[in-house]
Amino acid sequence: MSGAALESHYEACADMLRKEDADRYFASLFAPEAKRRHLHALYAFSLELARVRELVSEPLTGEIRMQWWRDALCGEGRGDVHSHPIAGALLDTVTRFNLPVQALKDLIEGRSFDLYDDPMPTKGDLEGYCGETSSSLMRLASLVLADGRDPGGAEAVGHGGVAYAITGLLRALPWHASRGQLYLPGDLLARHGVTRDEVVSGQVTPGLCDALAEMRALARHHHARALDAAPQMEPSTRAALMPLAVVPVYLKRMENGGYEPFRTLITAPSWRRLYALWALSRKL
């Protein structure tokens, strides 16, 4: 592949993030400039997997897309895989930093859950899903920042990914519920007397409000554990944790007056998110 083609692939990843995942794009700006494009490739890959469900009409078609990525990572892809902008940038990043392909395949496996309406049975299952997806992505980012060496900090990225993912799932509750998808753990809902039908039909009950408060507390717990463990990471790799800056911003907005779980779109102005990122960068 020519240098110009590869450059255009990385630019496509950055553009995709600016439009569809601004939080991770903003977070990448706090990494060394030479590493940003490689973080963009990882984040764009994760985003591509996350949106498979909305692009397909049935799970089987989604599974075919997931298999395409598995084959691409194993060198078994059909056609010119490197001509795909995200795949081309990702495979270049994997080669440059000797990233573990199995970790990327595990991320695909985790995202395969999104293709179905299967319930999330327990809190442990939810944390496992978040670990396979969001925590794995943070781990891969830290490897890039460490030039492929072991950066340490497995505890930090493990908790960090769970905190970030739970917050994202809470923000996406209206969207997921409207299509019959439920990430709230079944054991937590049962403890608060909430049924699946109530959630997917958009019924706000006292029990649901209590369950969502418990979910926010769980996200805060993992967020705090991640920051406590950050010193275990090499300083040059802590930018992998920067997406965590927006977690308390969004959680606080869910606790403001007027929050309606199935109707409120939780967001924040760009300046507020950038300030949170700057503040976290001063602590890491």
Quote the pLDDT of residue 78. Answer: 58
Nearest to 38 by CA among 134, 151, 144: 144
In this prediction, residues 88-102 reach a mean pLDDT of 96
Residues 188 and 136 in one domain: yes
Question: How many structural domains compose the chain?
Answer: 2
Cα–Cα–Cα angle for 170, 174, 177, rounded to 5 degrees? 100
Residue identified by tokens 């090499």 is 234
Quickly state the pLDDT bin for 5 (edges 50, 70, 90). confident
Q: Which pLDDT belongs to residue 1?
A: 63
Same domain, 171 and 256: yes
Q: Is residue 268 within a helix (H) or strand (E), and if so which, with residue range?
A: none
Residue 269 pLDDT exceeds 90: yes
Domain at 81, CATH number: 1.10.600.10
Domain boundary among 77, 97, 114: 114
Domain identity same for 134 and 101: no
Res 194 pLDDT > 90: yes
- Give pLDDT, residue 257: 81
Its domain, for residue 153, covers 117-284
Is there a single domain that holds both residue 280 and residue 147? yes
Distance between CA atoms of residues 149 and 142, nearest Å: 9
Report the C-alpha gap between 157 and 134 in whole angstroms: 9
CB 29 within 8 A of CB 36: yes
SS3 percent helix, strand, coil of the chain, rounded to 5, is 75, 0, 25
Mark whether 182 and 260 lie in a shared domain.
yes
Q: What is the mean pLDDT of residues 249-274?
A: 94
Amino acid (1-letter code) at residue 194: V
Tell whether 108 and 211 lie within a shared domain: no
